[in-house]
Amino acid sequence: MKTIAAADVGGTHARFALASIDDGRVVHLGEPVTVKTSEFASFQHAWQEFGRRIDQPLPNELSIAFAGPVGGEVLKLTNNPWVIRPALMHERLGVERFVIVNDFAAIAYAVAGLDGSAYRHICGPEADLPTTGVISIVGPGTGLGVASLLKRADGYDVIATEGGHIDFAPLDPLEDKILDHLRANYRRVSVERLVSGRGLLNIYEALGTIEKRPYTLRDEKDLWTAALAGTDTLAAAALDRLCLAFGAAAGDYALAQGAHAVVLAGGLGLRLVDFLPRSGFRDRFIAKGRFERMMDEMPVKVIVHPQPGLFGAAEAFASNHGVIESER
């Protein structure tokens, strides 16, 4: 058994933990250390803070879940000014071996390694996730992450995507108007402009403009609190619209990827776990014309593991490196 460091780097927070790996799987994930990315100039500084907080030498093996495209000499986060240069990992971090995966690829790795207790049912049949076939992973947070997991009898493959940046497709006259409003502010309107933390504010302001009603909630945290509590009718209406768009997009990804099941993730996926079954999510998810029956027979779950990004980063390392006999 060996100990590695795992990191989950997003637009708002970076999380770190020690993980124990044995026989190519994660057997333990330590207590996470969370820092705000805005408070550190670089990943290196946040890494050093992790070492300071746990007050022990950091491992020389590291796996990072990274909220942005992975590949090339310089990795840039989608919603964060940090960059990571893989060629400098040894020099700057002191690591000998490392793995870097897209943040939602990490969630897919987590889905591959976690058991049924890590999920809550949303819609479709209350069945376990399939042991073979494709599972689509979709989740809103700072942005909208999308990945897929192909499970085979002899293993699995993870496919990272930037599916959150596909074009938003309105499905009724009100969404036509919301799209028109957003086009006045954005050159291109992706699904992420609606299905994300910021997306609720975008929809809220659009509805206020369309209905010529004052919208006073400017802070995203206050807006989400009011929307979930139902204390502001315009915020509640915006949340209903977000869930409709979320359901439509999740169904589209499942169709495009040939999925047999869907796992919802992301910070907002977890926050909406009790709200989604009461929303219009399912109706939009299955509303795919001649494929409606197929979609209604597809299990949709929310991952409720407290740190799926960290667990998935560690699982990615275990899948790629594991523990060889000479290291036992």
The two tokens of residue 257 are 């990827």
The CATH number of 163-303 is: 3.40.367.20
Q: Say whether 142 counts as a known binding-site residue.
A: no
Judge whether residue 327 has pLDDT over 50.
no
DSSP-derived letter for residue 98 is E
What is the structure's pLDDT at 52?
96
* Total Cβ atoms within 10 A of residue 192: 25
Residue 254 annotated as lining a ligand binding site: no
Residue 9's beta-bridge partner residues?
A: 14, 66
As annotated, the residues of the chain forming the CATH 3.30.420.40 domain(s) are: 2-114+305-327
196-232 pLDDT, tens digit each? 999 999 999 999 999 999 889 989 999 999 999 999 9
Query: Residue 320: what pLDDT?
Result: 85
- Pair of tokens at residue 134: 């494709």
pLDDT digits (tens, 9 = 90+) for 47-104: 999 999 999 999 999 999 988 788 889 998 877 789 999 999 999 999 999 999 988 8
What is the predicted pLDDT for the residue at 322?
Answer: 59
Q: Work out the mean pLDDT of the chain and round it to a whole number.
A: 93
256 is in an annotated binding site: no
Share of the chain above pLDDT 90, in %: 84
Q: Which residues belong to CATH 3.40.367.20 in the chain?
A: 163-303
The pLDDT tens digits of the residues spanning 224-251 come to: 999 999 999 999 999 999 999 999 999 9
pTM, full prediction: 0.90
Does residue 13 surpass a pLDDT of 70?
yes
Tokens encoding 324 = 């060889």
- Dump pLDDT digits (tens) for 276-322: 999 999 999 999 999 999 999 999 999 999 999 999 999 999 998 85
What CATH code would you report for 2-114+305-327?
A: 3.30.420.40
**Tally of CA atoms within 13 A in the half-sphere of 42 that contains its CB:** 10
Q: Is 10 annotated as a binding residue?
A: yes
